[in-house]
Amino acid sequence: MACFLVSAAEAVIVTAVEKAVEKKEKAPTEMTIGFENGAPETAVKIPFSQKLKWLRNLLWGGTVLLAFEHIWHGEVVPWFPFLTAAADPADAVEMLHEMATVGVIMALLVTAVWLGMLGVAALIEKRAQREAQAGEATEAAL
């Protein structure tokens, strides 16, 4: 009915936070990592604002495509009150219930997947740093 509005609200907040973080961010951190041949090389760590962009794109993408589905099903209309369910009090209650259940779980799942992506990215960064340290140690031993 209007479950995408919860994700849309989160997307607006994430976009604002991302812009604020981007302004405050200093020069990206340099680190030594090991690429495919294990040789240590200097690379730039992805800034947090870039990682926030992943969440922003997940949320906006999902919101736009779901909004289209709601237009397709006639649940969103181009005239006031824009949501057909909002015109009838009984339907409005059902709509709010759907937003509180389906909508909130959608936003939570997308955020959880993004947190998982952050975890995997951190693991890959640590592994690359370890490989570089091992490469440096081997070079020093030779």
Partner 1 sequence: MTLLVTAFAAVISTVLWYKNAPKSDMMLGVLCLMYWGASLMWLVDAVFEYAELKAEYFTPAPAEMLNDLFLGLSVVALGLIVWLVILLIKDPRGVVKATLFKKK
Position 69 contacts partner 1 (CB under 8 A): yes
Is-contact 94 85, C-beta < 8 A?
Answer: yes
Position 33 contacts partner 1 (CB under 8 A): no
SS3 of 106, please?
helix
SS3 of 36, please?
coil
Residues of this chain, 101-120, that bind partner 1 according to CB under 8 A: 101-102, 105-106, 109-110, 113
Position 65 contacts partner 1 (CB under 8 A): yes
Taking CB under 8 A as the criterion, the residue among 7, 8, 34, 131 binding partner 1 is: 7
Extract the tokens encoding 2: 């209007």
Is the CB of 34 or the CB of 62 nearer to partner 1? 62
- State how far Cα 69 lies from the chain centre: 21
Taking CB under 8 A as the criterion, the residue among 13, 28, 41, 61 binding partner 1 is: 61
Smallest separation, CB 69 to partner 1 (Å): 6
The stretch near partner 1 (CB under 8 A) out of 16-24, 75-83, 97-105, 130-138 is 97-105
Q: Which of 72, 65, 91 is nearest to 11 (CA)?
A: 65
CA dihedral 8, 12, 18, 23 (to 10 degrees): 160
Position 49 contacts partner 1 (CB under 8 A): no
Q: Residue 98 carries which DSSP code?
A: H
Taking CB under 8 A as the criterion, the residue among 8, 33, 34, 63 binding partner 1 is: 63
Residue 74 — left, alpha, or beta (φ > 0 → left; ψ -120 to 50 → alpha)?
left
The residues that touch partner 1, with contacts defined as CB under 8 A, are 3-4, 7, 54, 57-66, 68-69, 72, 101-102, 105-106, 109-110, 113
